[in-house]
Structure 1
Amino acid sequence: MTSSDEDLLASTRRALLHRIARAQRDGRAPSLVAAVQRQGRVAWSGARSCGEGRAPDDDTQYRIGSITKTFTAVLVLRLRDEGLIDLDDPLEKHLPGTGAGTVTVFQLLGHSAGLGAETPAPWWERTPGSLRPQLADVLGDRPKMHPAGHRHHYSNPGYTLLGSLVEAVRGVSWEEALRREILQPLGMHRTTGGPVPPHASGWAVHPWADVMLSEPAEDLGLMAPAGQLWSTTNDLLRFAAFLAEGDDRVLSASSVREMRAPAAPTETGSSGYGLGLQIVTGAGTVLFGHSGSLPGFVAGLWFDAEEDVAAVVLANVTSGPPVTTVAAELVRIVAEAEPRIPEPWRPLPEVDEELLALTGIWHWGTHTFTLVLLPDRGVRLTPSGGSGRGAVFTWRQDGTWEGQSDYYAGETLRVVRREDGGSVDHLDLGSFVFTREPYEAGAAVPGGVDAAGWRGLAD
């Protein structure tokens, strides 16, 4: 990818540089790199460093920690899309003898399997993976902390299990599957399991003095699927573009959208977790991505699918600048200063007269709804006044529609015709009857319609 700074206003570029400069100074990071992508193109990149000579840039590797989990989740969903596993499968079906019980693949992806957050001592992030040669060494004597499926509890060992699942089903190492199935197709040639020059070195900065201590960079062994990878801002923006739009060489658009759907509620009202993706809502926006940290490094990747803006921030310090917050702020700076210009309105390429006849006003009892025709024979049902349940429905080959969100997600909308086979009697939505008039006489309204009809108080 090539940077195209001219795509952003000078004032926006200065605001971005100012934000990362403050982050590097206030967070006392030896170096910090950042980049912003808009509509699939790198719109800005910048770096700050305490050192003399060559400054880090968009090709300098940093360790990305738990952003690795998102890559592992993509590998698992590929197995599902190929029909090799089901997300509701218990892990034991494909990886027997782990001691994790009947936790499902879905629960592991969304951190709701109830497993512990960390491995038994010693601290796995700062010791060689050879100390944990077996899954039993990763899970310990008490792998489950909570009942499966009851709550979100972030688990690094859970993603180790998912990496082992990938290896068991694919018959190759997790790293080989990653390289072959994600990195090569997306052109992410600077994302690797170990550091490849040019790369940053990891440092700890003393909390009470401006002095530094070198941090070890350990090979995590079995824990690699939870946090092993090294990458660059350039490569991670490629990954962000894929997570926003999908890529049929890796994972379809519908599957990456599935990753962005909350899998289990978290204990904070403004955040959630999908399938390998963190979700943050606030100020009318929703950001998707992941944070990452390992001794010597912190990383953040966020994207706004609505505005089509993504940002990555990487720093080589154990604790310092809040890079996940900074990355989110970089997205906000661009989205607010230069909001995305909407695509021009265009009419549908063709019209189906039979579908067109279904549009307009419908009533569920005395509640009024509007049915609007969408591209690809989809429809949107919207309650009048903005209150009530509505949804977008996609067309099925059998002539029905499937709900895509909220209350009606997965529910079937169908047209019910009268005995003459032509005229429409009503729409059926999961047993709810929608008629052209409220409690329309002669229509198949459950419970029937009073033959006396509507009346006033005097009646």
Structure 2
Amino acid sequence: MLATTEFALLRRVATEQATNRAPSLVAAVVRDGKLAWSGARGFVDGASPDTDTQYRLGSITKSMVAALVMRLRDAGELDLSDPLERHLPGTAFGKLTIAQLLSHTGGLTSESPGSWWERSLGGDWAALEASVTPAELKHRPGSRFHYSNVGYGALGELVARLRGTSWLQAMRSELLGPLGMSRTTDHPEGRHARGWAVHPFADVLLPEPSPDAGAMAPAGQLWSSITDLARWTSFIGGHTGDVLHPDTVAEMRALNTVDDGDAWTSGYGLGLQLFRHNGRRLAGHTGSMPGFLACTLVDEASGTGGLVLTNSTAGVALVSLTVDLISIVDEYEPRLPADWRPAEIDPELLALTGLWHWGPTPYHLRVLPNGWLSLAPADGDGRASRFRPEGEHWVGLDGYYAGETLRVGRGTDGVPQHLDLATFIFTRTPYDPSAPVPGGVDPDGWR
């Protein structure tokens, strides 16, 4: 990074740490899947923390558990629409779907019954399951967003049952190991920050406990470092290695539910929090445990990500700080567009390009550099989608036609004659009488 960029980033971090009295605070920025900048303020055991110092992640743990669930889905071990009882029979909330648990739309209670779980030694799954009675279903499933730590306790048990091991061991072998995240652990190892509460009216500290959460651990147990969390931030942005296909992570980033109603500044996907800020769309997760706050976010458009770790129970403005780090980088060092280059395109695809009509409405079909198709209204206003080839046909990726099949109808000479898209017929000329237009075309033609 340029010296001016680095100073602006450090000043923002220093201002946050000093103004909100954080014992220590570390932050970083990622670009192109790599750690591009990091900075620290405050002290851990009398010295400045570094990129290897561990802090507790809190609910960022949930996003990693969600990735394990998506691996099971991609492997055919489950479907997101499966009720939980198909895999964990006997629970009082077994009719909730896996997708509802991932997106916090099942209506399940936010906290586990009994003692405040974040400050209490946790029991096993049997104890947690027994404590969650039908009374802990607080809302009609699917009716609204209601954050549920209990739901992720259940998802951790789901991973354990289907993998035949603990959720933590599955995470180590399937996610942390392959991504090189060796400093992400269930308890602190090596140099780590102690969790503190800062007195609201005096500059004094109180140590916070960090007991093992037991069956609730998948909701917020993990500890990590800036180096490891930068790798996870890059993962959320699409640099997924062999852990998940980038399309699956894009599915996790897609909006499932809105958290704040009409405003739609925050929402939730599948294991990922979503934010909109000044035209940006950001995905990631925040974390909060007694003595610790954490945040990781990535801008889907620019690919720039920010992350923050601090050992304070409250006070640090996590989301605004992380968003500011991303904004500073993209403002001070905006990305240059890549050089345009000709693409290697299947010559047969060229016959599909050009002008098509949905009834009287003109559309343009283009071949994208990766061999996908783009179908969009000629005036830019209306239903537009991209399509990826699957066998002899094409499947919509986004927009109105997401998931729908595009078929090419050809004449006896093999020349493309019409497009059949979710029963809509697109023709080279408006209502071409030689094409199978539903309802037929008036024999007297246009007049």
Shorter-chain TM range is over 0.9
**Aligned mate of 1:382, from 376, 383, 386:** 376
Q: Contact between 1:365 and 1:438, CA under 8 Å: does it hold in 2?
A: yes
Rounded to whole Å, the distance in 1 between the matches of 2:120 and 2:186 is: 16
Q: Distance in 2 between matches of 1:376 and 1:307?
A: 19
CA contact (8 A) 1:120 1:137 kept: no
Q: Offset at 1:356?
A: 0.4
**1:68 pairs with 2:98:** no
Q: Which amino acid aligns with 1:427?
A: L
Change (3 A) 1:136 1:52: closer
1:52 deviation in Å?
7.6
Q: Is the 1:370–1:383 contact (alpha carbons within 8 Å) kept by the matching residues of 2?
A: yes
1:330 aligns with 2:314: no
In angstroms, what is the RMSD of aligned CA positions?
Answer: 1.7
In structure 2, how many angstroms separate the alpha carbons of the residues matched to 1:229 and 1:289?
16
Match 2:28 to one of 30, 35, 44: 35
Q: Distance in 1 between matches of 2:21 and 2:139?
A: 38
- The residue aligned with 2:362 is 368
Residue number among 24, 38, 42 corresponding to 1:45 in the alignment: 38
Q: Does 1:453 align with 2:442?
A: no
User: Kindly tell me: are residues 366 and 182 of structure 1, through their superposed partners in 2, closer, same or farther at Cα, counting changes over 3 Å?
Assistant: same
| More moved, 440-449 vs 256-265 | 440-449
Q: Deviations over 1:22-76 (max 9, x none)?
A: 1101111111000111112221111110578421111100001000000100111
Gap change, CA 1:92 and 1:209, over 3 Å in 2: same
* Residues 1:357 and 2:348 aligned together: no
Letter in 1 for 2:121: P
Is the Cα contact below 8 Å between 2:34 and 2:231 reproduced in 1? no
SS at match of 1:42: strand
Query: What's the offset of the Cα at 1:263?
Result: 2.0
- TM-score w.r.t. length of structure 2: 0.96
Question: What SS does the corresponding residue of 2:227 show, helix, strand or coil?
Answer: helix
Q: Is the 8 A contact 1:63 1:231 kept in 2?
A: yes
> Is contact 2:345-2:369 (8 Å) kept?
no
Partner of 2:234: 241
What residue number does 2:288 align with?
293
Deviations 1:319-370 (A, max 9, x none): 1111222111101111122112222212122432x32011011111121110
Measure the CA separation in 1 of the matches of 2:26 and 2:253: 26
Q: Matched residues in 2 for 1:256 and 1:132: separation?
A: 28
1:280 and 2:266 are equivalent in the alignment: no
Counterpart CA distance in 2 for 1:375 and 1:223 is 46
In structure 2, what is the equivalent of residue 77 of structure 1? 70
Residue 146 of structure 2 aligns with an amino acid whose one-letter code is: H
Structure 2, gaps ≥5 residues long: none
Counterpart residue identity of residue 46, structure 1: G
Q: Which residue of 2 aligns with 1:3?
A: none
Deviations along 1:204-238, one digit per CA (max 9) or x if unpaired, are 11112221111111110000000000001110111
My pick for the range that moved more, 192-201 or 421-430, is: 421-430
Taking structure 1 as the reference length, the TM-score comes to 0.93
Matches within 5 A, 1:103-122: 103-122=96-115
d(CA) in 2 for partners of 1:377 and 1:249? 23
SS in 2 for 1:251: coil
Equivalent residues in 2 for 1:40-439, closer than 5 Å: 40-49=33-42, 53-130=46-123, 134-137=127-130, 139-140=132-133, 142-268=135-261, 269-352=264-347, 354-397=348-391, 399-418=392-411, 420=412, 422-439=414-431
What's the secondary structure of 2:157's corresponding residue? Answer: helix
User: Partners of 1:250 and 1:131 in 2: how far apart?
Assistant: 28
Distance change >3 Å, CA 433–CA 271, structure 1 → 2:
same
**Which secondary structure state, in structure 2, belongs to the residue aligned with residue 287 of structure 1?**
strand
Q: 442, 449, 457: which is aligned to 2:434?
A: 442
Partner amino acid for 1:261? A
Q: Is the 8 A contact 2:252 2:269 kept in 1?
A: yes
Matches of 2:307 and 2:374, distance apart in 1 = 35
Once the 2 structures are TM-superposed, how far is the Cα of residue 135 of structure 1 from its aligned partner? 2.5
CA distance in 1, matches of 2:134, 2:388: 47
1:181-200 deviation per Cα after TM superposition (whole angstroms, max 9, x unaligned): 11111110100000112000
What stretches of structure 1 move > 3 A for 4+ residues in a row? 50-53, 130-133
| Aligned-partner Cα distance in 2 for 1:286–1:436 | 37
Specify the code of the residue in structure 2 equivalent to 1:377: G
Letter of the 1:393 counterpart: F
Per-residue CA distance 1:298-329 (angstroms, 9 max, x = gap) = 00000113212111101111111112221111
Q: Deviations over 1:392-446 (max 9, x none)?
A: 000111x21100012111001111123x252333111101111111122333222
- Does structure 1 conserve the Cα–Cα contact (< 8 Å) formed by 2:88 and 2:94? no
Give the Cα separation in 1 of the matches to 2:331 and 2:287: 26
State, as a whole percentage, how many aligned pairs show the same letter.
Answer: 51
Unaligned stretches of 5+ residues in structure 1 = 1-7
Inter-partner Cα distance in structure 1 for 2:308 and 2:132: 31
Q: Are the aligned partners of 1:32 and 1:314 in contact in 2 as well (CA < 8 Å)?
A: yes
Aligned residue-pair number: 445
| 1:375 CA displacement | 3.4
User: What is the letter of the counterpart of residue 135 of structure 1?
Assistant: L
Partners in 1 of 2:274 and 2:78 — Cα distance? Answer: 25
CA contact (8 A) 2:109 2:137 kept: yes
Describe the SS at the equivalent of 1:450. coil
State the 1:141 CA deviation.
Answer: 5.3
Contact 1:58/1:234 (<8 A) preserved: yes
> Structure 1: how far apart are the matches of 2:103 and 2:205?
36
